[in-house]
Amino acid sequence: MNINWNTQIYCLIGHPISKTLSPIIHNNFYRLINENSIYLAFDVKEKHLSTIVEAIKILDIKGFNVTIPYKTTIINYLDEISEEAKLIGAVNTVKNVDGKLVGYNTDGMGFIKSLELNNIDVKGKNILILGAGGGAKAIGTSLAFIGVDSIFISNRTLGKAKKLSEKLKHQFPEVSIDYGELDLKKIDKKKIHMIINCTSIGMYPNIDKSPIDLDGFSKDLVVYDIVYKPINTKLLKLAQDKGYKTMDGLTMLIFQGLYSQQIWLDNKNYDIYEYYDEIRRNLEKYVE
């Protein structure tokens, strides 16, 4: 990396951000496309959020990502947000256009792109989402947007599943949406085409935990776990034992990052598939 007077700065803000993989994704991307830019991670306390946003404008930082816990609160500091971010109700990517801050959400796009990469067509399918937090919100919204047949949201805290379900029903009346607890008592398992784990169950250090067991589903089930630490979670191992197709969270993570780059670099028509394999190889060294 050749840092000089012309190096552009991009960054991540969140709290805590320990061991975030974003700098690895973005700095590898800059290396691969030979771009004179650097990506840093800043751990920002809530009381400093507005000052940091001002500093970003003053320093002419061209773009930044936003992670937990600021994906919703950051909206108060932005001049504009994209339709997608509006629908999801959260922003993870901000572009600084001459001092005007524009917010986007690339989590849902990253997820959908990861399905395309694996030739998985979800249009008209029945989807079971485990969890009702930020990841579930972005993925549920994107799936409803592209036209799945039904979404069932299962969550430990029923009130949160209800809230997300009502929001999606209101936004996408043509999609059948329901909710329940993680015991799955309310669903007909045989009708489910895809399960997406959006809870943090199974995430390091609780790597021996799975959010559900996989008895009773049809043989064509696809199991997607958005948790990426570890890459091969307990849920994915259970699914592999049953012969189901599986997808891990690293793919979505890389694509949401590459979509942020597309936004920051003015959609210079990067073929984002082209960089996926190399970035993934580099990331795998950091996640077991």
Binder to ligand NAP among 49, 56, 109, 252 (CB under 6 A)? 252
DSSP character for 47? Answer: G
Q: How far is the CB of 174 from ligand NAP (least distance, A)?
A: 25
* Nearest to ligand NAP of 86, 160 (CB atom): 160
The catalytic position among 71, 113, 125, 234 is 71
- The alpha carbons of the chain give a radius of gyration, in whole angstroms, of 19
Q: How far is the CB of 22 from ligand NAP (least distance, A)?
A: 10
Interface with ligand NAP, residue 280, by CB under 6 A: no
Location of structure tokens 């849902």: 108
Binder to ligand NAP among 48, 57, 62, 156 (CB under 6 A)? 156
* Nearest to ligand NAP of 122, 132 (CB atom): 132
Residue 281 carries which side chain, given as an amino acid letter? R
Candidate ranges 76-84, 97-105, 195-203, 267-275; the one touching ligand NAP (CB under 6 A): 195-203
Interface with ligand NAP, residue 194, by CB under 6 A: no
**Distance from the Cα of residue 67 to its chain's centroid:** 10
Q: What share of the chain is helix, strand, coil (3-state, %, to 5)?
A: 40, 20, 40
Interface with ligand NAP, residue 198, by CB under 6 A: yes
User: Please, is 197 exposed, middle or buried when counting C-beta atoms within 10 Å of its C-beta (0-12, 13-18, 19+)?
Assistant: buried
Residue among 263, 194, 203, 252 at smallest CA distance from 223: 194
DSSP character for 92? Answer: S
* Nearest to ligand NAP of 65, 96 (CB atom): 65
**Distance from the Cα of residue 141 to its chain's centroid:** 12
Distance CA(287)–CA(249), nearest Å, equals 11
Residue among 125, 131, 132 at smallest CA distance from 151: 125
Residue 49 carries which side chain, given as an amino acid letter? L
* Nearest to ligand NAP of 55, 68 (CB atom): 68
Candidate ranges 9-17, 44-52, 166-174, 192-200; the one touching ligand NAP (CB under 6 A): 192-200
Beta pairing partners, 129 = 153, 196
Interface with ligand NAP, residue 201, by CB under 6 A: yes
When CB distances to ligand NAP are compared, the closest residue is 133
Interface with ligand NAP, residue 74, by CB under 6 A: no
**Catalytic site residue 71?**
yes
DSSP character for 65? Answer: E
Q: Which residue intervals of the chain are DSSP H helices?
A: 22-33, 49-58, 83-88, 107-117, 134-146, 158-171, 234-241, 249-264, 273-284
Binder to ligand NAP among 226, 235, 247, 283 (CB under 6 A)? 226
Q: What residues numbered 136-155 form the site for ligand NAP, per CB under 6 A?
A: 136, 155
* Nearest to ligand NAP of 157, 240 (CB atom): 157
Binder to ligand NAP among 160, 162, 169, 237 (CB under 6 A)? 160
Any idea which residues carry the catalytic annotation?
71
Per CB under 6 A, residues contacting ligand NAP are 68, 107, 131-136, 155-157, 160, 198-201, 203, 226-228, 249, 252-253, 256
